Amino acid sequence: MKQDYRDLIIELDPQRLPQHIGIIMDGNGRWAKLHRRPRLYGHRAGARSVRNIIELAVELSLKSITLYAFSTENWNRPQSEVDGLLKLLIEMMHKEINEVHRQNVKIRTIGSRRNVNPDYMKKIDDTLSLTWDNTGPLINVAFNYGSQQEIIEAIMNWHQKANTDPERYPALTFASFEEHLFTAGLPPLDLVIRTSGEQRLSNFMLWQAAYAELYFTETLFPDFDKYEFCFALREFQERKRRFGALKDK
């Protein structure tokens, strides 16, 4: 039997928790198949893991987490799955928002707003805006997110501003580029977690993950509970980070 996640919490150094964690929530479909249920059943089970993640973020006062909920490539899935996922996202936000607000959590979406129904995005914003002044953990739901798209949009937006305000934007620098990413204002990723055994980034935060520690687990996302999350945090704290230099930082 698994240990209690609280036994792992006491092994964590609260001073060295990652400032920004990215989670690639993978394996919902396989989990559903294993349980002989439709794929959407797996996504619903995944939504329960999201709730656990948020609860642990509150318990540990984590700063920011970005959840890869819907990629720019996910539109290519069967229409019934796309529709089901869109419905589930809104449903879950509605259902959880009051509790999340009570816990002082701030939730917002990041991703491209191009080619997404503006009414749908408005519904999401209207729901999430209740939490936008909260000061606890920040949960970024990456929706219609693709890192390559993000980088292209950042350069295009920067270019537009550089044309109209060349004094403020004389040259493309690291800082002025980052200002135009969806993650503007956020620290880079310290840790990326991917569930289900796949070991790739799949167009997730390619810029922001430059020096992130990568943690891959065989656990399918619906089984990714607080224990598994704490385990990943403990593993993170055991890693030696060098950021390209020789000495530990």
Crossing angle of helices 79-102 and 39-60, in 10° steps, is 20
191-194: strand order across its sheet: 106-110, 138-145, 64-71, 20-24, 191-194, 213-216
- Rank residues 9 and 88 by Cβ distance to ligand FPP and give the closer one: 88
Q: Which of 4, 7, 13, 74 is catalytic?
A: 74
- Rank residues 158 and 221 by Cβ distance to ligand FPP and give the closer one: 221
Task: Write down the least CB distance from residue 212 to ligand FPP, Å.
Answer: 20
Distance CA 68, CA 57 (A): 16
Interacting residue ranges for ligand FPP, rule: CB under 6 A: 25-30, 43, 46-47, 50, 67, 69, 74, 85, 88-89, 92, 141, 196
Q: Does the active-site annotation cover 74?
A: yes
Partners of residue 109 on adjacent β-strands: 141
Partners of residue 213 on adjacent β-strands: 191
Q: Does the active-site annotation cover 4?
A: no
Task: Write down the least CB distance from residue 31 to ligand FPP, Å.
Answer: 7
Encoded tokens for 129: 């805006």
Cβ pair 88, 160 in contact under 8 A: no
Distance CA 20, CA 191 (A): 7
Residue number with the smallest Cβ distance to ligand FPP: 29
Task: Write down the least CB distance from residue 233 to ligand FPP, Å.
Answer: 19
Q: Which of 4, 13, 26, 225 is catalytic?
A: 26
Cβ pair 119, 72 in contact under 8 A: no
Task: Write down the least CB distance from residue 39 to ligand FPP, Å.
Answer: 6
Residue 166, helix vs strand vs coil: coil
φ and ψ of 32, to 5 deg:
-65, -45
- Rank residues 3 and 80 by Cβ distance to ligand FPP and give the closer one: 80
Residue 168, helix vs strand vs coil: coil
Which of the residues are catalytic?
A: 26, 74
